[in-house]
Structure 1
Amino acid sequence: MSEKLQKVLARAGIGSRREMEAMIEAGRVSVDGKVATLGDRVGPSAAIRIDGHPISAKPADEVICRVLAYHKPEGEMCTRKDPEGRPTVFDRLPRIQDARWVAVGRLDVNTSGLLLFTTDGELANRLMHPRHEVDREYAVRVFGEVDDAMLRRLRTGVQLEDGPAKFDQVVRAGGEGLNHWFNVTLKEGRNREVRRLWETQEVQVSRLIRVRYGDIKLEKSIPRGGWMELPLDKVNYLRALVGLPPESRSKVLVDDQRSQFKVNAQIRRAVRKHRERQHTDNRQAHPERDGSTVAAPGARPVLSRGEPQRGQAARGEPGKGRRADGASGEGRKPARPQPKPRSRAGSSEAPRTPQRRPGGNKRG
């Protein structure tokens, strides 16, 4: 059975279908020694090369559809590589061979919560398409006064720059003062749609967490920066939701304790890596918090808090000065001690200076 060339390459984990189509049009792909063209179909025995390098592509019936539920922290980008070097959602996902993880939709850099990944590009595309109307639920904290008239408008629909939009459900979830929590549900995932809907009512979203995608919930057992691979029944629920045939195999062995132990160890390493990166980023962004300061070339060294100043005694070595560059102050003339002013007990007045008697030092 033959398949479209770009579909085979995408399934092999080389890139998205659109990226593969661009490679084919650029003449970088060959099949059985001939330069491929867009629209070519290949069979299981075809010899495929990209830029002269052979590509290993498994047949469709040998590829297992896998789905991950990832707890995205704030501050991560939904892209494979960020030009500014910021962390991305793909950094801590488990490595796989002959496939690639495809994100089901996106979350803003300041949005956290549930993000699904799958190895099946067709499943990802269908889940993202508006015609399938998959519910997305968010926990939202807004700042400002919210009345019932605002909530009615958000349920009925408001006009955004890219067309009308609305929440299918808006439920109050507590809060105090001007901070209020709501659970909102909608069936599409336009760019910053939840935030823009609230902004039409002149309130600002200060926290946004996706807690559900369809019937797949963000489990409390998944820490921020951690992930969990979905078992076969949940994978087939998502496939049935968008009209795809069920999968018969799974990488998740529920009863295999050794396999589950390895998965938990992977998650712990991923979370630890995320925390270490956050700590490093915070130190680089705020060096004054840990006492480290980067000095400009030629500038005098800056001492950290608690380090002896020039001419002061070094800690544990009374009488020895310490220079700002850390060298010992031995051999230099010590600073002249200043006399302590005498004052009357219990008085805050300056010490009185002795006055001369009339006549100066003349003897009578």
Structure 2
Amino acid sequence: MTESGKHQLFTLTRAVTLLLAVTCGTSVAGLYYAQPLLVTIADHLHVSSSTAAFLVTASQIGYTLGLMFLVPLGDVLDRKRLIVAMMTVAVAAAAGAAASPNFVTLCVLLVLGGITSATAMVVVPMAVGLAAESERGRVTGTVMGGLLFGILLARTVSGAIAEFGGWRLVYVAAAVALAVLALLLVRILPPIAPTASLTYPRLLRSIFTIIGREPVLRGRMALGFLAMCGFALMWTSSTFLLAEEYGYSDGVIGLFGLAGVAGAAGAPVTGRLVDAGHARLSTTLTWSIVLVGWGLLALGMHHLPAFIVGILLFDFGVQAAHITNQNRIYGLHPDERSRLTTAYMVTFFFGGVAGSIIASLAYDAGGWLLVCAIGAGLTTAALAIWATICATTERETKI
């Protein structure tokens, strides 16, 4: 079925778009629930805190596997059925995590939960495919905004629920939320015909073919890597700054995530810029804002208002850059959107891994100012890459 045919049968209303955004956020939040609970889980399951920290890594390993091996299936299977199936497994994984009798069982279930967290990256290309062409930027911005809110709010929500009813209740609540969302999607979404007919091995191999064929994709993958690298660098090392320089508790530090949410909330407006044919302006503007954000964050070492404004601008810019990247790659080939998502998001995720590693090393070596200098350097590199892209890869296209 063609995209136009789907539009005639189903209208992607704002309410449905919001539901898909919530689905993305709830799915990916499972990667981060354990972070504020590590000490409590370590005590309850009788392991060391350093051992418990592997739970976060386990979730991330699972997510990478899901991105690489499940998300591409969105091109050859009914995306609705794929999403519901993955969420059903996610419900079982979360419920099992809540009842885990020991650390090994919990670790295995969090790997499984991480794999199914990749549901979010099946939802995004599906939403883009269901949207009218004139609204794809707005829809991408809204759905990706939901995903980022899930990332930023997961720790706060997890800590609050655990404070009220213990760490197991966090996973009970996650299972219930995912089950409710899956039931809503079953009732609301239409069947979505596959866009390609390939065997699974050929499907996976074709991802590399697409990367080699599409210079626009390669450019946006590079920008995505740098965006997520900077994002992880800032949020990981900011914890050290707020604890050591400002003396804030874990609870107060967690509240700074709300500033990130506030900044990211404005980012979907860039989707409207893209819809209006100003993707080039949007990319230039957002990376410039990220650079200004790093400058304010550097001042924030001793001036809290500058730090907060820096977070607002930084998170706005990173999220806006991400939205613009995805909107651009989804315009390449509608029948390859799930594989385009895998190529882009795996690179994006590896940027986050690199940023987390750099954060601890940089902060130990030179403190917050070195972190900000590296962040500004990453942003300058992104602007240089973008200038090259504008002059070559995307010169002939409407960007």
TM class by shorter chain equals: under 0.3
Q: Which has the larger radius of gyration?
A: 1
Q: Whose strand fraction is larger, Structure 1's or Structure 2's?
A: 1
Q: Whose helix fraction is larger, Structure 1's or Structure 2's?
A: 2
Q: TM-score, normalised by structure 1?
A: 0.22
Instruction: Determine which structure has greater relative contact order: mean sequence separation of CA pairs < 8 Å that are 6+ residues apart, divided by chain length.
Output: 2
